[in-house]
Structure 1
Amino acid sequence: MSLLFTVLSFIVAIGVLVTVHEFGHFWVARKLGVKVLRFSVGFGKALWSKQGGDGTEYVVAAIPLGGYVKMLDEREGPVDDSEVHRAFNRQNLKVRSAIVAAGPIFNFIFAILAYWLVFTLGVSGLKSTIGAVEEGSIAAASGLRAGHQIVSVDGADTVTWVGVIQNVLGGVLKDPQVPVSVQRADTPSAPVRNLTLDLRPIPIDDLTSGGFFETLGVTPARPEFAPVIDAVTAGGAAEAAGLQSGDRIMTVNGEPMSSWSAWVRRIQASPGETLSVRIQRSGSSRVVPVTPATKEQDGRTFGFIGASRAPDPGLIERYFVTERYGPIESLTRATDKTWEVSMLTLRMFWKMLKLEVSVQNLSGPISIAQYAGNSARSGLSRFLEFLAIVSISLGILNLLPVPILDGGHLLYFAVEAVKGSPLSEQAQYVAQHVGLVLLVGLMGLAFYNDVVRVFSL
């Protein structure tokens, strides 16, 4: 079921983003008087098609990894004299450039709209408060201490750890000495201290490979919920063991359980293993055998019993925050966010070309599908954030000056503007094949990274 949800989330995400991109080409072409013959979401065999009254065939195809807009063009077949003026190849440079650039531009516009929805609806996250700092770590050397709340990174306000991570990564790609401002979390009126997070001793890859907190030597402050069961799932291992709402977990195989997270870690580490669990119920203590079921998700196997913790609104309010703004401020923040993520993506790509960042940071369809599934499970706001980030990446990728991509066509047009005539068909043919080889190589590398990640789990 989890795999199916992940696949469906991936299909929805790619379908939305491809439709947005191709709609950009389609809409601008129509507005500028170019006839569109086909608007296809996906490649391969048509699963659904409809002939519109405007003469355009609308298609949903079997392979949802792209799409295309086919326009009237004399280079691809004979064109009736009465419609020659509507052929793409007969348009001037400005019109052709606008049509080609529209796809990536619509990806950036979509990202702004997605972020606007996120900021308007509100997105919750763990407050950027430090729970512990490892002695001798980079964080300790930079002056970070337990109890500090990071209020800004590289000049950008931060209220959650997601914002801290994004801004540190964006900052270190510009300068390994990243300015950070902190304040005592328990004293809102305390003065703000300006520090410098010195990341010169470590490779950027250590931050981007999933070990952000370990690399810095910090542990986020997290709520420690009491190990008290609130509800059990019907037919689950918890119900089979006789666990009930209100039961407090005392020990597992003699090991004290001080928090709900400790209890969860113990269960997840014991799939199929019968555990001796001491509980407290109605003032008395008893021992019950609990055998966690085995569950697989995203290539990982772990124990699962089907029990949820008791809520604690006070802890939630203390450790979590919801970012929510009015419509106008949300639009400003969404535009700024789109710009920040775009610059981060470009800097990361440039560092890869200079071999300063590993190409292992490239993600292929498997990783993107996993991110799609995880973000969708986390709620609408997180899924919209994911769509915005991928849309920006898609826009930037298509603007690269590589033949076969939109950026390659724009490069052709730039050469045409300089020399006063289009590139020869032979030159374009050779360039297209070079671009195809580069693109296939890039996709192959990303897919290889995916396979390595899956088998290294």
Structure 2
Amino acid sequence: MDLLSVLPQLGGFVYTIASFVVALSIIVAVHEYGHYIVGRWSGIHAEVFSLGFGPVLWSRYDKRGTKWQIAALPFGGYVKFLGDADAASGKDSAVVEAAAADPVQLRRTMHGAPLWARTATVAAGPVFNFIMSIAVFTALALSMGAVRDPLTVGAVVPVPGVESQLRPGDELIEVAGVPLPGLGDNSGWVAFNAALPFSPTLEYLVRRDGAEVTLTDTYFSPAYIDTVMPRSAAADAGLQSGDFISRLNGEPVFAFKQLVDHVAATEGAPLSLEVTRGSESFDVSLSPRRVDLPQGDGSFASRWLIGITGGKLVDYATESMGLGEALTTGTGQVWGVISSSISGLGHMITGAISTCNLSGPIGIAKASGDTASQGALSFISFIAVLSTAVGLLNLFPIPALDGGHLVFYAYEAVVGRPPNDRAVQILMSIGIAMILSLMVFALGNDIFC
């Protein structure tokens, strides 16, 4: 293997790592800032705000005496409050005891602050992750807008070798005599797609300049790649959004449905695709992978997939979306990530789906690189999804995580006193061991699954 053949692989590796570090650094910064700012508002002094672990590369003190630093290992971060023994907020008994003689100084420590202040400070990290995700999804919804009703052509996908008859501004009425359903009518769209004749060309009834016009154009859902899923066979093969599949195992294809049906029938057998990208055509070989997909009822179904979604012949025209509607959309997307994550974890614990669905640092880094290569919007959306997942993970009731501390505070609220320091230390050690074991297991999934 010569140097020229290694350079592209090395460049891809560096790009993946850089994307992962950027995504994780943003998420960690938001999470830790939530702890810091709510702690400050609550009267708890932060001694150190660190992005990363290990040797300090840069640091400075602010006017409040907090040390802000960037460390060499960019795979996490922490806020060390006064009275904390370590980054996991273990109690430094010597500091707390020394401060006990001065009520004002004791109030500034994490462990001498009122229960409400400690609870708010710990909960703020995950909450800020969720707020960031909602804000990102809301901004994306505002920028993309809502699909105009009635459905109107915003742009026509340029099918290779075909001069489309549809134009931007055409209002779609019928396709092959089948009326288009309403925007939110999911069952109607299923019936619409099933009723379309399976033919390379279809008749389109549109309203153009106030008059109804019948046109002939290509299939409504051509063999066109709209999105490529990260960590999929398609992503590994280099397929991109906007690619057209012209042949499948040597046979011509005109509809995305042909790809779906063939992939489902092959059960993992290798596929040969002829791909058209712009003015160029090239061949790609790949094998479908078994994927557990969440269903509407909370269950999961296994499917053979190559990791692409298809688009329509047209991109629909959009109109401005109100802030309230966008906020509802963004909140719904965050809740969707949370509910599907909890459901997936439950199904893995019961053995209903494979534990290979749990990704570790290698898998997350690969997904970061894949989404970054698809453009800024995909990468930003991925960061929002990952931020939600990080917030949820930190709420798990495991000692050393935020959720574990909240359990300790709940115990204190019920019993009237904090748990024994020795018991907390033991539980924290158990929690750290559990987290490390989970990380090793997830890393094993990345390598062997």
Matched, 1:121 2:129: no
Give yes or no for contact 2:274–2:281 (8 Å, CA) kept in 1: no
- Aligned counterparts of 1:150 and 1:438: Cα–Cα separation in 2: 51
Matched, 1:378 2:388: no
> Post-superposition shift, 1:67?
0.7
1:184 match:
192
CA gap 1:338/1:256 in 2 versus in 1, 3 angstroms? closer
Aligned equivalent of 1:17, options 16, 27, 32: 27
* Structure 1 residues 48-104: Cα deviation after superposition (integer angstroms, max 9, x where no partner): 111111211001111111110000117424355462221111111111111110001
Q: Which amino acid aligns with 1:343?
A: S
Give yes or no for contact 2:141–2:326 (8 Å, CA) kept in 1: yes
Matched, 1:425 2:435: no
Aligned equivalent of 1:390, options 386, 397, 411: 386
Matched, 1:59 2:104: no
Aligned equivalent of 1:39, options 49, 61, 78: 49
Q: Which amino acid aligns with 2:365?
A: A
Q: Which amino acid aligns with 2:342?
A: L
Q: Which amino acid aligns with 1:184?
A: F
* Structure 1 residues 319-368: Cα deviation after superposition (integer angstroms, max 9, x where no partner): 54577734332111101211122111112222223332322110111111
Give yes or no for contact 2:274–2:283 (8 Å, CA) kept in 1: no
> Post-superposition shift, 1:35?
0.6
- Aligned counterparts of 1:375 and 1:417: Cα–Cα separation in 2: 44
> Post-superposition shift, 1:441?
1.2
2:357 match:
361
1:223 match:
222
1:337 match:
333
Aligned equivalent of 1:27, options 37, 43, 49: 37
Q: Percent identity?
A: 32
Matched, 1:402 2:423: no
Give yes or no for contact 2:275–2:283 (8 Å, CA) kept in 1: no
1:325 partner SS: coil
Q: Which amino acid aligns with 1:50?
A: R
- Aligned counterparts of 1:423 and 1:64: Cα–Cα separation in 2: 33
Uncovered stretches (5+) of structure 2, i.e. residues with no partner: 1-10, 85-90, 152-177, 197-218, 225-245, 260-271, 285-309
The within-5 A match list for 1:57-456 is: 57-73=67-83, 75-76=91-92, 77-78=94-95, 81=102, 83-122=105-144, 157=184, 182-184=190-192, 222-224=221-223, 265-266=273-274, 318-321=313-316, 325-453=321-449
C-alpha RMSD of the superposition: 4.2
- Aligned counterparts of 1:447 and 1:149: Cα–Cα separation in 2: 47
Per the normalisation by structure 1, the TM-score is: 0.60
- Aligned counterparts of 1:365 and 1:322: Cα–Cα separation in 2: 39
- Aligned counterparts of 1:342 and 1:115: Cα–Cα separation in 2: 14
Uncovered stretches (5+) of structure 1, i.e. residues with no partner: 128-146, 160-178, 189-219, 226-249, 269-280, 282-289, 295-314
Per the normalisation by structure 2, the TM-score is: 0.61
2:80 partner SS: strand
* Structure 1 residues 369-407: Cα deviation after superposition (integer angstroms, max 9, x where no partner): 111111112222211221111111111110011011000
Q: Which amino acid aligns with 2:26?
A: V
Give yes or no for contact 1:148–1:183 (8 Å, CA) kept in 2: no
> Post-superposition shift, 1:32?
0.7
Give yes or no for contact 1:150–1:182 (8 Å, CA) kept in 2: no
Kindly tell me the number of residue pairs found equivalent between the two proteins: 316
